[in-house]
Amino acid sequence: MPAMSLAEFEALCRDEAPFCELFGFRVERFDETGAVVRLPFAPALIRPGGTIAGPALMALADFAVYAALLARIGRVPLAVTTGLTINFLRKAGAVDVLAEARLLKLGRRLAVGEVTMTAVGDDQPAAHVTATYAIPSSAVS
Residue 5 vs 82, nearer CB to a copy of itself: 82
Minimum CB–partner distance for residue 8 and a copy of itself (Å) = 13
- Closest distance of CB 28 from a copy of itself, Å: 19
Considering the complex, state which of residue 94 and residue 120 has its C-beta at the smaller distance from a copy of itself: 94
Closest separation in Å from C-beta 130 to a copy of itself: 6
Closest CA to 76 of 99, 108, 33, 105: 108
Smallest distance from the beta carbon of 58 to a copy of itself, in angstroms?
A: 4
* Cβ nearer to a copy of itself, comparing 20 with 36: 20
Please report, for residues 7, 140, 141, the alpha-carbon distance to residue 101 in angstroms, rounded to integers and kept in the order given. 19, 22, 24
Nearer to a copy of itself, 31 or 112 (CB): 112
**Residues that bind a copy of itself in the complex, under the rule CB under 8 A:** 12, 16-22, 43-49, 53-56, 58-59, 62-63, 77-78, 80-91, 104-105, 109-110, 112, 114, 124-125, 128, 130, 132, 134
